[in-house]
Chain A
């Protein structure tokens, strides 16, 4: 099930929230777990077994790790951790990368291998990283193993962040699993946050996606201006799509009494690519830093070793986003930029005017999204060449696209930076009367919610040109 669907908005969310608020406190976790399993099974009635397996497996591993400590067989602990990592990463690799590997081997050897066409279980990249963070933290003795399977299951399967993040580390949420407070304040805040995310996804990301799809289909035959419109649309789409989803997850979390960490902090305001990655998909960056980069030695073993570590981290970050050469290239592109910044640019970027460094960052990120969004290398190269003016600067079609899409691009750009939000917060801060302030927030949220819901409904409006009874 996705958040921006009629079933979720009209049935699932209100019914689950209502049930959650009505039942006694001790029944809330079971309600939430049941709802989460239903949420997942709605889209993946079979693959839910894999998620349940991962859950039970790592629940067992956590207990085993503690047991080995208790009985003084600590040397076995490494083996348990290795088993957990192998099984979890193995499952992820099997479902996500098998066909990619077969395809690669086939194209290198010409052996005529056929693909297995394995469907990817929704959210497996996210929940695998969550369970791994748990086992590793228990192994490091940073958290205690969770004894209640129900609570642990709820941590892994919780529907708000299950299928698109943020990746919640066990230690960040451990206490909240059994003790959390629900107040009208936090529910209201969560509600407004959810609606904000819904608006980002439904009103902005989806419309921007149509622009990109249309221009990407021109297959590199477009002028520079058209390419720029398309790439800018994609750049905004992926931000609103992803951060909108995170907003919705954080919002629903708040409505349930959880506090998830922020996942995006206006990344397009960054002054360097390094800063961009501190503001973009923060939970993923944190995960890779904590569980891969630092264990590899981070920057503590000299620059050459740091470069190797960065290469590993960014190659894998690229592949985490998808099984394809473009994703690997995308990761390596960021690796190159980050190394460049660490070695040279970090000294000059602070010296140049702010708007120049921001422009540099935006341009670097824009190019990365073209690589990211292209199915293959030749499409990406063709698109980048047209962006650089291979087919001329502008033509009538470019002006048509501009007239057609300037508004959504302008609105998108406006909301992709913090200006609007800080102005709105300032405006709210000036309202002395709390009831009036709440009234304003409620009105804004109600309008945004209504327009988003109606847009979801309208997207199913689908006239048929050729029709037979």
Chain B
């Protein structure tokens, strides 16, 4: 019997190993939003640890029933009373929030970025608006588990405002959307950190108010009611409610060139895969140029927007007001924003980003 025990403990790992090596590799984990290590990307360099890292990653990435194992672990953790799982807080009704603690926010780099924007505004002389997106956990503080640590958005906002408007600098308008976003929990998805249709519409109204425009009536069409976003990837539990993605109808459809390639304005194929939020311009790109054929080339305005993914769902509502919108995601394109403003003859600059994604 002891021998059986020994054989059992030696054989089980080797059997698992055989299973991993013999079964076909999975190239992509939809649940995690990332490519997996496969036999194809084996690295042979032993001296710098490349092969060692590859093998360790390969074994865990190709382990049988990996996603189910993760789901089981998450279920156990929730049953044990945990409300912070892998960087996502679980609120009432299994609503998920991205956990961003004070330690996650680098105030110095936020202020550095603000100074850069101020320089950009003063160099180009263009009117500039800024929206520092309040994270869902900040706007909907009451919905978080009681006491769950989040960064202090208000304090950060105050110091950023001071930096941007010091010495009475008139070039930058900060749009304060805190109260509007806190007014309704439906402004954020429940399984993703982004704005919902109602959230983007609320931001759009604030935008129009700042610009003294009359907001347009928007026709919404439901694109998906089975959306489980990136926070769901952290907490893959079937009790997390599905979200609905709604898209504003735009006719005629805008033309989009992302990093030099024509792409559809709404990437409907994204609705059939895991990260459905990519329906908006097919996700993030370095430079995206959106042209609105409904406005004549001569008298339409051009907007240069420095953005993160929050802007992706706001852009469709702004399209009718501009001839051209140039989106610059500085995490993916390392270019001089002033240069881009000049190249595209921008009339206005906007910054729309969550503080946490400040480059």
Contact = CB atoms under 8 A, between A and B. Distances in A.
A457 B66 contact: yes
A9 interface: yes
A30 interface: no
Given A398-B147, A457-B60, A457-B69, A188 B5 contact: yes
The dominant DSSP class at the A interface is helix
B80 interface: yes
B5 A468 contact: no
A403 B11 CA distance: 40
A321 B9 CA distance: 35
B69 A460 contact: no
A191 B6 contact: yes
B33 A464 contact: yes
B93 interface: no
A14 B147 contact: no
Given A397-B147, A463-B234, A466-B331, A454 B69 contact: yes
A18 B34 CA distance: 36
B16 A10 contact: yes
Given A46-B47, A460-B61, A13 B13 contact: yes
B83 interface: yes
Given A191-B9, A404-B83, A463-B86, A458 B73 contact: yes
Interface in B145-180: 145-149
A447 interface: no
A6 B56 contact: yes
Given A399-B146, A399-B147, A467 B52 contact: no
A462 interface: yes
Contact of B17 (A5, A11, A397): A11
Nearest to B10: A14
Given A46-B47, A184-B2, A461 B32 contact: yes
Nearest to A401: B147
B69 A403 contact: no
How many A residues touch the partner, as a band? 35 or more
B1 A463 contact: no
Contacts of A406: 81
A396 interface: yes
A407 interface: yes
B34 A7 contact: no
B147 to A, nearest CB: 3
A458 B70 contact: yes
A223 to B, nearest CB: 11
B125 interface: no
A14 B17 CA distance: 11
B269 interface: no
A217 B101 contact: yes
A52 interface: no
Nearest to A191: B9
A456 B5 contact: no
B47 A457 contact: no
Interface string A405-416: 011000000000
A15 B18 CA distance: 13
A429 interface: no
Interface in B234-251: 234
A164 to B, nearest CB: 18
B334 interface: no
B86 A460 contact: no
B103 A217 contact: yes
B13 A14 contact: yes
A228 to B, nearest CB: 16
A206 interface: no
Contact of B146 (A188, A400, A446): A400
B309 interface: yes
Interface in A16-30: 17-18
Contact of B2 (A187, A400, A404, A469): A187
B34 A397 contact: no
B84 interface: yes
Contacts of A460: 57, 60-61
Interface string B100-119: 01110000000000000000
B10 A461 contact: no
Contact of A457 (B1, B46, B63, B147): B63
A401 B307 CA distance: 34
Contacts of B332: 468
Given A187-B2, A466-B284, A454 B56 contact: no
A191 B13 CA distance: 14
Contacts of A71: none
Contact of A7 (B14, B35, B59): B59
A463 B147 contact: no
A167 B10 CA distance: 27
Nearest to A438: B1
Contacts of A442: 5, 8
Contact of B149 (A219, A397, A439, A457): A397
B60 A456 contact: yes
B7 to A, nearest CB: 10
A383 to B, nearest CB: 14
Contacts of A90: none
Nearest to B14: A14
B70 A461 contact: yes
Interface in A177-199: 184-185, 187-188, 191
Contacts of B101: 214, 217
B230 interface: yes
A187 B32 CA distance: 40
A407 B81 CA distance: 8
Interface of B: 1-3, 5-6, 8-11, 13-14, 16-17, 20, 31-35, 46-47, 49, 52, 55-57, 59-61, 63, 66, 69-70, 73, 80-84, 86, 98, 101-103, 145-149, 193, 230, 233-234, 275, 283-284, 309, 331-332, 357
23 contacts: A6-B63, A11-B17, A43-B52, A45-B46, A45-B47, A184-B3, A185-B2, A395-B147, A399-B146, A400-B146, A404-B84, A406-B81, A435-B1, A438-B2, A460-B60, A461-B66, A462-B32, A463-B234, A464-B33, A465-B33, A466-B309, A467-B275, A468-B284
Given A463-B34, A467-B34, 9 more contacts: A42-B52, A45-B49, A46-B47, A217-B103, A438-B2, A445-B9, A454-B73, A461-B86, A464-B32
Interface of A: 1, 5-7, 9-11, 13-15, 17-18, 42-43, 45-46, 184-185, 187-188, 191, 214, 217-219, 395-401, 403-404, 406-407, 435, 438-439, 442, 445-446, 449, 453-469
